[in-house]
Amino acid sequence: MVDVLERPGQVEEHGHEEHHGPTGLLKWLTSTDHKVIGLSYTITSVIMLVIGGAFAEIVRAQLTSPNGHVVSLAQYNELFTMHGSVMIYLFAGPFAFGALANFIVPIQIGAPDMAFPRLNALSYWLYLTGSITMLSGFFVAGGAANFGWVAYAPLSNSANTPGAGADLWIGALLLTGFSAIFTGVNLCATIFYLRAPGMTMFRMPIFTWNLLITAILILLAFPVLTAGLIMLYCDRHFGTHIYSVVGGGVPVLWQHIFWFWGHPEVYILAIPFFGMVTEIIAVFSRRPVFGYKGMIFATISIGALSLGVWAHHMFTTGVVLLPFFSIMSLLIAVPTGIKFFNWIGTMWRGQVWFSTAMLMALGFLATFLIGGLTGIYLASPPLDFFTHDTYFVVAHFHSVVMALVLAGFGGLYYWGPKITGYMLNEPLGKIQFWFLFIGTQVLTLPQYLLGLDGMPRRVAIYPNSPQWKTLNVWSSVGAVMIGVSTIIFVVNLVYSWKRYPAGDNPWDGQTLEWFTTSPPPHHNFYRLPQIRSERPTWDYNHPEHRSLAHGHHEEPVHEEVPVA
């Protein structure tokens, strides 16, 4: 029985017969290697996290007093718009499907690279260009875009928001949108066509499965946004009246188009992080994913439902069919619940190892639970009327996205050794975790109370009430703690630089990426194990501990023949 497939004519002993291409800056500029591009994405998107976080700190500083004078009203509008835009368009999405997916997915399915390496490079360069385009809004007359990250028409038209900042914002979204679409194409093609022998669809790791669903959602949703943005640009500059009442247009059309992209986008952001958490929990509990297939069907149903819930952002417009969008939105709780019980089932009877990555995943569970439960309220139109556009909503989606940030850092601690070949410092990582986790709750819990007490979102000043001030100060304290946690992460990166060599499989990983070297060689694998389950590396390392479905009993692997 062959346990390992070796690449013909190219074995490890040939000396790292690496790609003799350019090195240094030229390598970074010209590379089509998914690992180099993935690393570029990772670094760029983490820089965007820091920039978007800095905007958030200024916003929170402004809100520490009812009549804050940290920034002007106009600057405040620019800052929260750019905070949201940078975090959603330039950090969360690209980090999820550009950074870790780019690096990990081909290795998890035993592929040598993405299906279209040059298209992959184009995706990255479009993303970088788009990011610079959006941020350059701060340097033009009139400042950056200031209509919120959702750019509702008619506030976003040329009469209400003149100036180049808004146009740069639209241009940036077109660029990053195409970047996302190309990545979506690339992920689909890679996952469908470049799987290693034996890697059937139902043996793919959950992370790869989730990225496949994400990629399909990207292909369905992003073109709609792109079309909507082009129409917005035409309204601003070419005299069309698609979103303006004056010429017979319909402002609400923008909301339909935006949220038809925007709600799948929420899951485009979330599903990759669900995948990261699933992998982390399985590895650090030393168990198979409890309901592997149930998990996949849950992800598919989340993806499918997410295409039919966009108007729950529009309940208060009064022009959408409330019950349909309400039940569709409520139903998303079911597959999300299935995921939660699967995560718990995976830990159940395991050996839960509290590494930094696992702590981050557990922090994700707790934070996402809060964000998920408060989301159920918002799926009910009467309760949405009550809380819409108040800080309750702000708190809800910050619970959700901060859960994703926790998961993302978990992903970095988990896969960092594979990407760089070196571990990060664990005690520093745990300190970072506690700052991030507690900071998130201190940030959001006062915001829930503020929202219930009627504080609207996107206000630079608020009525002078001691209670609101206290709650806002606490929320800002949480924001500072999150900022500190990010600094600790940077310190950890510097401190751990090439300090702790990782080895190929530091966590006793289960999936294919842990079978190759850290970092993987050019084209990823010199040899592959036999793939007979969703855990080929585990099966190879622990042949006597294969996973068993409920009701089945361990069959002896090595039967000893008694000597007569």
- Within positions 138 to 157, which residues make up the interface with other proteins, using CB under 8 A? 147-148, 152, 154-155
In the complex, minimum distance from the CB of residue 365 to other proteins, in angstroms, rounded to a whole number:
6
Span 199-238, contacts to other proteins by CB under 8 A: none
Residue list 414-443, contact with other proteins (CB under 8 A): none
Nearest distance, CB of residue 490 and other proteins, angstroms: 28
CA distance 242 to 254: 9
Distance (Å, whole) CA 523 – CA 247: 56
Contacts to other proteins from residues 486-515, by CB under 8 A: none
- In whole angstroms, the minimum distance from the beta carbon of 322 to other proteins comes to 6
How far is the C-alpha of 229 from the C-alpha of 447, rounded, in Å? 31
Encoding tokens for residue 111? 């592929």
Q: Which of 386, 397, 422, 434 binds other proteins (CB under 8 A)?
A: 386
Which residue type sits at 360? M
The residues in 27-66 that bind other proteins, with binding defined as CB under 8 A, are none
**Sign of the C-alpha dihedral computed for residues 381, 385, 388 and 391 taken in this order:** negative
In one-letter notation, the amino acid at residue 182 is F
Task: Tell me which residues in 450-489 interact with other proteins (CB under 8 A).
Answer: 452-454, 456-463
For other proteins, the closer of residues 527 and 545 by Cβ is 545
Q: How far is the CB of 523 from other proteins (least distance, A)?
A: 32
Nearer residue to other proteins within complex by CB, 119 or 330: 330
Report the alpha-carbon distance of residue 124 to residue 118 in Å, rounded: 10
Minimum gap (Å) between residue 294 Cβ and other proteins? 5
Q: Does residue 290 belong to the site contacting other proteins (CB under 8 A)?
A: yes
Based on CB atoms, which residue is closest to other proteins, 184 or 446? 446
d(CA 357, CA 408) in angstroms, rounded, equals 9
Closest CA to 370 of 445, 295, 435: 445
CB nearer to other proteins: pick between 251 and 421: 251
| Rounded-to-integer distance, Cα 143 and Cα 137, Å | 6
Q: Which residues 157-196 are close enough to bind other proteins by CB under 8 A?
A: 160
Q: How far is the CB of 105 from other proteins (least distance, A)?
A: 23
Among 138, 340, 397, 434, binds other proteins (CB under 8 A): 340
d(C-alpha 494, C-alpha 140), whole Å: 35
- Distance in angstroms (rounded) separating the CA atoms of residues 513 and 475: 40
Contacting other proteins within 86-105 (CB under 8 A): none
Give the containing element (helix H, strand E) for 412.
helix 391-420
CA pair distance 155, 146, nearest whole angstrom: 10
Q: Give the residue from 265, 238, 233, 47 showing the smallest Cα distance to 135.
A: 47
- State which residue, 217 or 365, has the beta carbon closest to other proteins: 365
Contact 68, 460 (CB under 8 A): yes
Of 273 and 525, which CB lies nearer to other proteins in the complex structure?
273
Per-residue exposure over 9-46, b if at least 16 CB sit within 10 Å of its own CB, e if not: eeeeeeeeeeeeeeeeeeeeeebbbbbbbbbbbbebbb
Location of structure tokens 């008694």 = 562
Residue range at the interface with other proteins (CB under 8 A); choices 177-185, 194-202, 318-326, 469-477 = 318-326
Two structure tokens written together for 245: 């009442």
Q: Which stretch binds other proteins (CB under 8 A): 109-117, 177-185, 211-219, 314-322?
A: 314-322
Number of residues located near other proteins, criterion CB under 8 A: 87
For residue 240, the minimal CB distance to other proteins (Å) is 16
User: Closer to other proteins at the Cβ: 289 or 442?
Assistant: 289
Dihedral sign, CA of 303, 304, 310, 315? Answer: negative
* Calpha distance 364→276 (Å, rounded): 11
Choosing from 11, 26, 29, 74, the residue that interacts with other proteins (CB under 8 A) is 74
User: Which residue lies nearer to other proteins by CB, 30 or 72?
Assistant: 72
Q: What is d(CA 136, CA 67) in angstroms, rounded to the nearest whole number?
A: 29
Question: Which of these segments, 112-120, 212-220, 245-253, 404-412, binds other proteins (CB under 8 A)?
Answer: 245-253
Name the DSSP letter for residue 153.
T
Q: Which is nearer to other proteins, 55 or 182 (CB)?
A: 55
Binding test (CB under 8 A) with other proteins, winner from 327, 490, 499, 503: 327
Smaller CB separation from other proteins, 307 or 366: 366
239: its two tokens: 């005299």
Stretch that binds other proteins, among 189-197, 262-270, 331-339, 467-475 (CB under 8 A): 331-339
Q: Which of residues 346-385 bind other proteins (CB under 8 A)?
A: 347-354, 362, 365-366, 369-370, 373-374, 376-377, 380-383, 385
Alpha-carbon gap, residue 298 to 246, rounded angstroms: 45
